[in-house]
């Protein structure tokens, strides 16, 4: 790894030399930042990488620099949660535009370090470079996964569950794109997501999940990964999806008009268009960073009350696993909801 | 990790699903591509990340797309070599501009896969995203390092050695910037560097290196990392540096004029300016991806002949370790060579 070859990156480099970040001696870390590589130990090491590009995954006007870093790191850490891996370290690569090296870059790294710290991980290194283009932040997360929970273990008859609530981050983005300020809780869902690491470890210790993913692209798409890897069909009951902040009826007054303007099909009356928009935000809006997992019938019910007391996070049964293939979201009438091409905001 | 949320990335995603890349069952790999994380095993796992940005680290007009990928991956793998870590896997994040997803992106990934394969590693995953900006490629390399060779083990009295030859990649860049086509061997040094992985493992098995780095920024700067980590002074004898392709006198006919145009100070006669330029390219041009290591007196001499037979790569003694701090390059008269600010081409 490198840490930028120019003196202009000294401020950022400092993040990897502060006592809090100097990871030598942290659990699972044999060599911390400052050498050619970091070295970690463990029976099984889970590795993931997640790239965030300005004006594709976020806009600078939406987020504080610290939030840009926090959110990107939380996204990578959420992948560790999806494997029930215990976070060990983060490496962060940062491409900075002209003038971003003095304030923006260090603030972004502060956010990365905060997300790492909140997850029990340390900053292990990274790379910093100039760029003539948008801010690019690529986060590597490494964790210990002695018994990783894969996507491939779902069986017909299993129930499908999610942690937390869905669609809050997407509601914030929808508000920004409409020129509105999002509800504070929806904004937080986007700007400072909480990877469900402890929750995943807790569930995995009890051998509850048969398969698990985190929700980065929305439950419809991500449950499709479980369906594909497990060779099963996943049926999601749309009305059961736990709605996140910003998706209460009042907050989506514009949703019908917006979805119509966006060319969304199938909207009927204004109120059904609004409820369809809410369902789409919850099912396919993405960036929730909640867990979605399959479990044997009754196994979640046996622990759900304790889970909710321990973590203050709801567990919601949202569907079932059947023989077949693919994932589908059904509306209240049992019809499949059209979600294809929904994430139009990402194309801007 | 994600693999791009749109269908436009299917071609690239396919790289991570082909039998050659499907790494389940490869040595050290417990879970290959396709889940939220890859999972690798090993007593000590070395991790590094290296970001390459178009028009900062390379230009599209200089390289074939496949070379862009190969070169970036080789740079990260070279960090593993510097720790004497055995490569296990690569994760690649790719930000692609409009129109790059069909041909450029897959070709870049081909180059990444080829570099991984040449190093005995497999593609473990990655992320692909659109970007409104330049091509950005971020490479994570993971390897097994049961006994990593650190930067901190150099002792006064040690000798300083390098593998291979230096300055070839920098000579290629200098040629391109001058509007000339580089010598083929110099071009290869830049476009398709060979990380010295087997060489590093061989030396480390024999416990030869007391400290080691790879040469990404040039021996002057990189030996400075050994000096800082080991709390010693490293003295490099400039005339001893083994010159790479493109640094023969004929190839640098323009060097004096170019360095003068670049504001380089200290150039005397045309011929001494040319030789100063050669020395600077070799000592501070960067991107050599050779190894630089300290070793007890005589320990390299005892194995050098066998090393050169096995690998066909020269070992050259280029300096010594003394009490003190910092790294310095001396010219034939014993004067320190001014290298500050030499890498001006990187700023373009």
Lowest average pLDDT, out of A91-105, A290-304, A330-344, B254-268, goes to B254-268
> Does A36 sit within 8 Å of B48, measured CB to CB?
yes
Distance from CA of A197 to the nearest CA of B (A): 13
Whether B306 contacts chain A with CB within 8 A: no
C-beta separation of B155 from B285 below 8 A: no
Q: Which helix (H) or strand (E) holds A200?
A: helix A197-205
The whole-number average pLDDT for the span B113-128 is 92
pTM for the predicted model, two decimal places? 0.89
The contacts of residue B288 (CB under 8 Å, 6+ apart) are B164, B165, B166, B167, B168, B169, B170, B189, B193, B215, B216, B218, B219, B244
CATH number of B7-144: 3.30.1330.10
Dist. CA B75–CA B72, nearest whole Å: 5
- A295, pLDDT greater than 70: yes
DSSP H or E stretch at residue A280: helix A270-284
The token duo for A93 is 């690569």
Choose, out of A22, A35, A129, A132, the residue to mutate when testing the contact with B (most B CBs < 10 Å): A35
Of the candidates B39, B79, B142, which has its C-beta nearest A36's C-beta?
Answer: B79
Q: Is the pLDDT of residue A37 over 70?
A: yes
Q: B175 to chain A nearest CA, in Å?
A: 22
- Calpha distance B215→A300 (Å, rounded): 54
Q: Which of residues 21-40 of B touch A (CB under 8 A)?
A: 30-31, 34-40
Within the 192-231 window of chain B, which residues sit less than 8 Å (CB to CB) from chain A?
213-214, 216-217, 221, 229
Contact B2 A136 (CB under 8 A): no
pLDDT tens, residue by residue, A166-207: 999 999 999 999 999 999 999 999 999 999 999 999 999 999
B71 touches chain A (CB under 8 A): no
Query: Residue B145: its chain A contacts at CB < 8 A?
Result: 37, 39
- Say what the pLDDT of residue B347 is: 35
Q: Does residue A346 carry a pLDDT above 80?
A: no
Q: What does the pLDDT read at residue A325?
A: 97
Residues of chain B with C-beta less than 8 angstroms from the C-beta of A46: 31, 37-39
CB-based contact B35 A150, cutoff 8 Å: yes
Is the model more confident about B60 or about A31? B60
Kindly write down the DSSP assignment for every residue of B295-342, as one continuous string: E-TTTTHHHHHHHHHHH---EEEEEEEESSSEEEEE-TTSPBPP-TT-
At A29, the pLDDT band (50, 70, 90 cuts) reads confident
pLDDT digit string, tens, across residues B5-59? 566 667 666 666 554 445 666 777 878 777 888 888 887 899 999 999 999 999 9
Residue A9 in this model has a pLDDT that exceeds 90: no
Q: Scanning every residue of chain A, which has its alpha carbon at the shortest distance from the alpha carbon of B93?
A: A51
Contact across the interface for B56 and A132, Cβ inside 8 Å: yes
**Crossing angle, helix A168-177 and helix A184-191, to 10 degrees?**
110
Domain B159-347 has CATH 1.10.8.620: no
* Residues A96-113, mean pLDDT to the nearest whole number: 91
Question: What is chain B's Cα-based Rg?
Answer: 20
Contact: B46, A38; criterion CB under 8 Å: yes
Cα A70–Cα A75–Cα A80 angle in degrees, nearest 5 = 120
Which chain A residue has the Cα nearest residue B87? A37
Q: Where are the domains of chain B?
A: 7-144, 159-347
Overall average pLDDT of the B228-239 stretch: 96
The residue with greater pLDDT, B57 or B253, is B57
How confident is residue A19, by pLDDT bands cut at 50, 70 and 90? very low
**Average predicted confidence (pLDDT) for chain B:** 86
Nearest CA distance, B230 vs chain A (angstrom): 11
CB neighbour burial string for B158-182, b if at least 16 within 10 angstroms, e if fewer? bbbbbbbbbbbbbbbbbbbeeeeeb
CA distance A322 to chain B (A): 21
B257 touches chain A (CB under 8 A): no
Apex A40 CA angle, A38 and A41, nearest 5: 160
Convert the pLDDT of each residue in A260-276 to its tens digit.
223 333 333 446 777 88
pLDDT in tens, A115-153: 999 999 988 888 999 999 999 999 999 999 888 999 999
Quick one: tokens of B228?
């800082």
Question: Residue B233 has what pLDDT?
Answer: 98
Residue for token digits 């190093």?
A: B119
With beta carbons under 8 A apart, name residues in chain A contacting B41. Answer: 43-45
Nearest to A1 among B45, B50, B151 (CB): B50
User: What confidence score (pLDDT) does residue A10 get?
Assistant: 73
* Interchain proximity A53–B93, CB inside 8 Å: no
- Computed over every residue of chain A, the mean pLDDT equals 86
Q: Would you state the pLDDT for residue A85?
A: 94
The size of the A-B interface in CB pairs under 8 A is: 237
pLDDT at B31: 80
* Residue B269, min C-alpha distance to chain A (Å): 30
**The pLDDT of residue B271 is above 80:** no
Q: List chain B residues with CB under 8 Å of A148.
A: 30-31, 35, 37, 39
Q: What does DSSP assign to residue B58?
A: B
Give me the interface pTM, i.e. the ipTM.
Answer: 0.87
């Amino acid at each position: 790894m490198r840490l930028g070859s120019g003196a202009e990156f000294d401020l950022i480099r400092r993040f990897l030399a502060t006592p809090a970040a100097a990871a030598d001696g942290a659990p699972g870390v044999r060599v911390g930042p400052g050498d050619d590589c970091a070295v970690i130990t463990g029976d099984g090491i889970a590795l993931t990488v997640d790239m965030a590009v300005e004006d594709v995954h976020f806009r600078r006007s939406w987020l504080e620099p610290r939030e840009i870093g926090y959110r990107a790191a939380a996204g990578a850490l959420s992948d560790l949660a999806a494997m029930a891996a215990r976070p060990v370290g983060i490496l962060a690569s940062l491409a900075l535009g002209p003038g971003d090296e003095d304030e923006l870059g260090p603030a972004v790294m502060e956010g990365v370090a905060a997300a790492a710290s909140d997850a029990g991980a340390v900053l292990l290194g990274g790379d910093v470079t100039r760029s003539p283009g948008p801010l690019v932040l690529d986060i590597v997360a490494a964790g210990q996964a002695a018994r990783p929970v894969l996507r491939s273990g779902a069986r017909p008859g299993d129930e499908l569950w999610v942690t937390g609530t869905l669609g809050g981050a997407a509601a914030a983005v929808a508000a920004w794109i409409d020129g509105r300020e999002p509800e504070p809780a929806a904004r937080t869902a986007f700007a400072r997501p909480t990877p469900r690491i402890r929750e995943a470890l807790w569930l995995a210790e009890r051998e509850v999940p048969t398969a698990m993913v985190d929700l980065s692209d929305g439950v419809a798409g991500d449950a499709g990964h479980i369906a594909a890897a497990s060779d099963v069909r996943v049926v999601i009951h749309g009305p059961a999806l736990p709605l996140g902040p910003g998706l209460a009826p009042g907050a989506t007054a514009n949703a019908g008009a917006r979805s119509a303007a966006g060319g969304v099909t199938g909207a009927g009356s204004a109120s059904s268009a609004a409820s369809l928009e809410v369902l789409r935000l919850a099912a396919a809006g993405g960036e929730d960073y909640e867990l979605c997992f399959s479990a044997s019938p009754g196994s979640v019910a046996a622990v759900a009350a304790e889970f909710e007391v321990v973590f203050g996070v709801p567990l919601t049964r949202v569907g079932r696993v059947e023989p077949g293939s693919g994932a589908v979201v059904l509306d209240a009438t049992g019809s499949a909801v059209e979600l294809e091409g929904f994430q139009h905001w990402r194309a801007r």
